[in-house]
Amino acid sequence: MKLLTTQFLIQKLPKFRPSLENLFIVLILFGIPLNLYKNRFYDNSWTVGEWLISYAGGFVRRGLPGQIIYFVSNKFEVSPILLVWLFSVSALICLAFLLIYFCKDLFQKSFLLSQLVILAPISEDYLIRKDTLLVLLYGLSLLSFKKFNQKKISIYSCILFVNFFSIFGILSHEAYGIWGLPSLIIIFYLLKRNVKQGIYRSILSSIFCLIPSIIAFAFCWFFKGNIEQSLLIHESWQNLKDILPTLGSLNESQPLGAIAAIGWGTSQVYISSLFSQFNLLIFWHPGMWLLTMYVVLRLFIGKNDTLQKAKRSIVCLQLIAFSPLFLFVDVGRWIFMWLSTSALLFAFLIQVFGIKKVVLHTERLIGAKILKKIIPSFSSSKTYNIVLLSIGLPHCCWSVGRYIVSNPIGFGIKNAIFYFKILFT
């Protein structure tokens, strides 16, 4: 028996040899409890608070998830924090499965698991935000298109599902309408185009398919909320103080963080001060963000020669859709969503239309030959892995400290310190 056990362990040990994939899996598993522990109070106003925006004062942007949480908490006396955790972790797990389903044969597993994609919200403490949910809903819209293309659902079911997922995304965070709707309209056009209709009528027909989502997007911009509504939302959560943990913010007369930000609008834009920001008097923020984006672009492209041209074009096209968001804070979060949605979009287009059509269409829209010179691929796996292991993606306000903590090595040390304190203090 001992001999059999020893042989079994010897056979299994090679599968658990050190690798980037295994490192990222360990960081994901240990990082989730760290995120939950750090975001367990109402006082976490930019993470938990983002989920608790509701319709207590009438319709406001980003209020749908909070309204659902409030209804369930009020009716069944379940702590809103537990529901926020459930939404956040479930969204991450489902997104991970969806990324693997779409992208496992097209991207490096280490890239998909890294601090640029699945690990990103965990390593930079925005797991308890809506980012993973939004990317998941976009991926589910692409999955609906794929099922329609496979003739497993009708065009009417496809339109229904895509609008349902998109409206849920828009009512969770209006940014979905900025970066999500353009590519969905193009996909409708590619799947439904009719030579007899002509290009303009086909485009109008594609836009018409997403009219419900476009209306929801418009509502979020026109009825974004105001100070009075944010106060009513805050007071509604005060009614649940017996089941909502707080360090004191819940008892304050005014809300903080995401709830207070309802109605702020363009005051969040920091483009006027962005160009004057430095870290340690050396690192110019706009330059460091541009350098970070350049490096992650090359990591996205990877090392597969047959797919590089198409990857380069798709990720750059999706960058155009995301570009307005880079005027706002939390640039690292937008980069995570940009890379994740680009991976899903690329995999979908390859699986539905094939590599030749994807390259052909993207070359018409963007200069693929010029991009190849500007954004080359990595020449070796060793260099690729070293860069992937060392790159950091701060979620907001680039700094040396945040860069170090957000890369796998720094985040691993952060985890070790956290669990050491839990065990020995």
- List of residues 6+ apart from 407 with CB closer than 8 A: 115, 123, 389, 390, 391, 392, 393
Record the pTM: 0.92
Question: Per-residue pLDDT for the chain (425 aa), expressed as one digit of tens each?
Answer: 454 345 434 454 455 567 899 999 999 999 999 999 999 999 999 999 999 999 999 999 999 999 999 999 999 999 999 999 999 999 999 999 999 999 988 999 999 999 999 999 999 999 999 999 999 999 999 999 999 999 999 999 999 999 999 999 999 999 999 999 999 999 999 888 764 567 788 889 999 999 999 999 999 999 989 999 999 999 999 999 999 999 999 999 999 999 999 877 544 445 545 667 788 778 888 889 999 999 999 999 987 667 888 888 899 889 999 999 987 778 999 999 999 999 999 999 999 988 767 766 666 656 556 666 778 888 888 999 999 999 999 998 888 999 999 999 999 999 999 999 888 87
- The Cα 48–Cα 31 span in angstroms is 17
What is the SS3 assignment for 220-267?
HHHCCCCHHHHHHHHHHHHCCCCCCCCCCHHHCCCCCHHHHCCCCHHH
Provide the token pair at 65: 């998830």
Residue 267: predicted pLDDT: 47
Provide the pLDDT for residue 319: 94
DSSP, res 19: -
Selection from 310, 355, 350 nearest residue 149 by Cα = 350
Residue 53 near residue 63 (C-beta atoms within 8 A): yes
Tell me if 206 sits within 8 A of 192, measured CB to CB. Answer: yes
Q: What is the pLDDT of residues 62-93, one digit of tens each?
A: 999 999 999 999 999 999 999 999 999 999 99
- Residue 405's pLDDT is what? 92
Cβ contact 141:161 at 8 Å: yes
| 208 neighbors 237 (Cβ within 8 angstroms) | no
Query: Are the C-beta atoms of 118 and 28 separated by less than 8 Å?
Result: yes
CB atoms within 10 A of CB 155: 12
pLDDT of residue 328: 75
